[in-house]
Amino acid sequence: MISITLQMKALVAAAFLLVPDEAAELDPALKPGFEAFQAGRFDEAARVFAVGAQAGKEAAQFALGILYQEGKGVERSLDTALLWYQKGAEQGHLPSAYNLALLLLEDPSMEEKGARWMLRAADAGWEKAQLAMGDLYLDGRGVGQNVREGTQWIRKAHDAGMVEATFKLGMLCERGIGQEADPKRALAYFEEAANAGYLPAMLYLGAKWRTGAGGPPDYAKAREWYRKAAADHQSGAGQLGIGEMCEQGLGAEAAPEEALEWYRKAAESGEPLAWNKLGFFYEKGIGVKADSARACEYYRKAAEAGLTVAMFNLSVFYDHGTGVEVNPVKAIQWLQKAGNGGLAVAQNEMGLRYLSGRGLQRDPVAASAWFQRAAEEGFENAYVNLGLMYQGGIGVRRNLSAAADLMARAAAGGNAFARVKLAEMVYRGWGAEAEPVKAYAILLGIEERTDVDENIRELAAPISAEIRLRLSEKEIAEAKRLSKEDFEFGRTESPEGKRPAGG
């Protein structure tokens, strides 16, 4: 499936056909229902719309379908909502057909029927349905996957003035989906959508110019789009983007005080990442006097909003008693929530806790399961820890081949500890035939670097010396050649989990 489809959302009563003056022009008898809905008197609205729906008024059938879908003024019933949407759709009411299609598409067994209703609305010229048909063809939901057909429907929605479709065309063009990639043309689509006030396009351009995706960064343009998003939409993400640029000194000297103010604005807009940033600033005393208690509260806000890195930070505070009383139970609770939310560093730390028995009953099997989850997220330290479990048969069946593979993954990412362990495995033939030359090549990167942790250097030295005694000068030369060609050496880390930096 193509993963750039925009989320299709049902039309809700507050957003469509529920402006009393417009409703009255369509059917004065429904005006009291629309007025009651806007005032939050849903029981009254339901009574008015029920009368109109029974009388065959399509706008009333649509509105009643919404009330049943949302459970406002009536007991929530998707079956009843479907019934009223279908009655409206059968009369040619396009919003009813659109909502009917979306509800049907939620059931895999009804996708084809849902796509047929969506097609009816799209063929009738309704741009929301045209964009939705584009998504359905791109994903192959309810219809055969057909990128060309999908692109044509999205283009129809764009030609009808739908700004979301303009943004989507930019994404297709940039990624070369159904066409040759054309960054210049894609940029024109993004700018068209952004200039029309489409917030996702503004934020996308801000991020694009900031990171230089597809070309050199342009920090002035990045700030311009972030500021426009912040000014026109009071966007927390836009405010956050400006704050991060001020913090990192992108396009100007670093300005932590200004960054702090933008983070405050973004936090007031309800942006969880901004709460986490404020927590970090108050924890470290960046642009403001350090205040651990206040930092803890900001981390808590972000954590309660579902931000996993903030959950991890809050866990550390409870663990160390920073800004709050030490509470091992809450520390584990927040750590586990972060891990279950997919944060790899938290998953790795849960593994270490179960392995050591710190704050939890020691359980090597559970430890290996947590390390496995973190490894699946690509976390290098988890590769090392899981590799050690397989090497020693701790919590898992001993498997030297699996251990060597995990160490190789971590070593490829530059983990120095993993490189030493991998060299030892290759040298001793653990999990495969012994290859002393290759093992020595793996270790050479450690010997030749000056920024490797001394403990790791000491760990590597006796193994390296032992291997060297077994090699001829010719084999040593071959190992040096292999080292330069096959084993680029990167960053160094110990296998213990680390706290994410900076929020």
Measured between alpha carbons, how far is 97 from 123 in angstroms, rounded to an integer? 12
Per the prediction, the chain carries an average pLDDT of 91
- Shared domain for 478 and 357, answered yes or no, is yes
User: Quick one: which of 464, 473, 471 has its CA closest to 445?
Assistant: 464
Measured between alpha carbons, how far is 338 from 340 in angstroms, rounded to an integer? 6
pLDDT computed for residue 490 by the predictor:
34
Amino acid of residue 304: E
Cα distances from 302 to residues 274, 319, 384, in angstroms, run 8, 18, 30
Measured between alpha carbons, how far is 74 from 53 in angstroms, rounded to an integer? 14
pLDDT computed for residue 428 by the predictor:
94
In the DSSP assignment, the letter for residue 57 is -
User: Per the domain annotation, does 384 fall within a domain?
Assistant: yes
pLDDT computed for residue 453 by the predictor:
84
Measured between alpha carbons, how far is 249 from 240 in angstroms, rounded to an integer? 14
User: Per the domain annotation, does 96 fall within a domain?
Assistant: no
Using 50, 70 and 90 to split pLDDT, how confident is the model at 3?
very low
User: Per the domain annotation, does 245 fall within a domain?
Assistant: yes
Using 50, 70 and 90 to split pLDDT, how confident is the model at 449?
low
User: Per the domain annotation, does 275 fall within a domain?
Assistant: no
User: Per the domain annotation, does 4 fall within a domain?
Assistant: no
Measured between alpha carbons, how far is 223 from 226 in angstroms, rounded to an integer? 5
User: Per the domain annotation, does 371 fall within a domain?
Assistant: yes
User: Per the domain annotation, does 151 fall within a domain?
Assistant: no
What are the start-end ranges of the H helices in 20-70? 20-26, 31-38, 42-54, 58-70
Distance separating the N- and C-terminal Cα atoms of the chain = 32
Q: DSSP of 350-363, one letter per residue? A: HHHHHHHTSSS---
pLDDT in tens, 99-157: 999 999 999 999 999 999 999 999 999 999 999 999 999 999 999 999 999 999 999 99
- Shared domain for 364 and 479, answered yes or no, is yes
Amino acid of residue 98: Y
- The pTM of the full predicted model, rounded to 2 decimals, is 0.83
109 phi and psi angles, rounded to 5 deg? -75, -10
Neighbours of 435 (CB within 10 A): 14
- Shared domain for 366 and 476, answered yes or no, is yes
CATH of residue 397's domain is 1.25.40.10
Domain membership of residue 424 as a residue range: 351-486
Domain count, the chain: 2
336 CB contacts (<8 Å, ≥6 apart)?
Answer: 346, 350
User: Per the domain annotation, does 283 fall within a domain?
Assistant: no
Instruction: Classify residue 469 by burial, with Cβ atoms within 10 Å: 0-12, 13-18, 19+.
Output: exposed
Measured between alpha carbons, how far is 267 from 298 in angstroms, rounded to an integer? 9
